[in-house]
Amino acid sequence: MSDPVTLHDIYLARSRIAGQAARTPLILSQSLSARFDAEIYLKLETLQPSGAFKLRGALNKIASLAPEQLERGVTTASTGNHGRAVAWASKRLGARAIICVSELVPANKIAAIEALGAEARVIGRSQDDAFVEARRLVAEEGMALIEPFDDPLIAAGQGTIGLELMEDVPELDRVLIGLSGGGLLGGIGRAVKGINPKVHVTGVSMLEGAAMIESLAAGKPVEVEEEASLADSLGGGIGLDNRCTFELVREVMDDHHQVSEAAIARAMLHFFEHEKMLVEGAAAVGLAAIEEHGIDVRGEKVALIISGNGVDAETLMRAKTLIDYPAR
């Protein structure tokens, strides 16, 4: 079986999205580097025009569609950030977009989708429920389905982050990546290991509703009940008919940690108070894993993927109530 995503695919994606998605900064965190006796770098996907890494994959996929497909429009199911990315890319490329979301998606993320000119359609209690409506739109209205993760073009787009990491820190030792459907981790993992197989790829999920980890443990894609979390962008299933990311993640991920809501909250508040950044829970799980599991990164060059900024004041206040946040 050939690789669903190759290093060459990722280079092609970079060419396709150039000038639209941002080449985001990689900055050294002085506070985290001092705390963990390592070089801790932050990859700021929060600075994408849509506010999250998802724009890379969405642009790569939509830009590959034929003109007649663009005219019929595109649709997807999303926990928020992918929907914003599809809305942004569709507006840029002149396509109508309907974004199907579940009731668990925060109101601020729905508003952000609508602000970009797309229709947000709220369906059911899970991403799987929302996908039923998206697939109906494909079958009955001829819209093109833009998968959130399980598509080689989507994963290749996200993999362009890995190319940038290796260019900016050629001696990178480890990258910690939020793990949900696997497009982000799979794409980045393929890129960094394609350049240097010794780079250690660590995936991070929340404690409840971690579909990819449950699936890997079972040896096949399985259904997992979705749970509310500060890391809501990591929610959703991987699809029982997963064609790409299950095998990709199994191949490129070296280890994995699950983190508590309190650990996610502490990490979010660190970024707010010490890095002066507003980041969503899914963007903070790398730091949460290092803190909660005592990952020994001493002497290493480490990248944390700060994946998105889709957080509102209410969620940040809820994070603060979860913990007794110590002054540092």
Question: Is 43 a catalytic site residue?
Answer: no
Instruction: Note if 307 is an active site residue.
Output: yes
Task: Give me the mean pLDDT over the 181-198 stretch.
Answer: 98
Q: Please say if the pLDDT value at position 247 is more than 80.
A: yes
Instruction: Write down the catalytic residue from 43, 50, 54, 215.
Output: 54
pLDDT, tens digit, 9 for 90 and up, residues 273-298: 999 999 999 999 999 999 999 999 99
Give the model's confidence band at 327: pLDDT under 50 very low, under 70 low, under 90 confident, else very high: very low
Catalytic position from the list 78, 90, 215, 307: 307
Q: What is the mean pLDDT of residues 77-104?
A: 90
DSSP assignment letter at 105 = S
Q: Could you tell me the pLDDT band of residue 185, with boundaries at 50, 70 and 90? A: very high
pLDDT at 79: 66
- Mean pLDDT for all residues in the chain: 93
Confidence check: pLDDT of 326 > 70: no
Burial environment of residue 217 by CB neighbours within 10 A (0 to 12, 13 to 18, 19 or more): exposed
Of the ranges 93-97, 105-109, 197-201, 230-234, which one carries the lowest mean pLDDT score?
A: 105-109
Domains in the chain: ranges and CATH: 7-52+151-322 (3.40.50.1100), 55-145 (3.40.50.1100)
pLDDT of amino acid 328: 44
- Where is average pLDDT lowest: 18-32, 52-66, 200-214, 231-245? 231-245
DSSP for 298-313 reads: TT-EEEEEE-B----H
State percent of the chain over pLDDT 70: 97
* DSSP codes joined into one string, 259-313: E-HHHHHHHHHHHHHTS-----HHHHHHHHHHHHHT---TT-EEEEEE-B----H
Output the six-digit token pair for 113.
Answer: 């989708």
Q: Two tokens at 131?
A: 């996908």
Number of H helices, E strands in the chain: 14, 10
Confidence band, pLDDT 50/70/90 cuts, at residue 235: confident
pLDDT value, residue 150: 94
50-54, 84-88, 276-280, 320-324: which range is least confident on average? 320-324
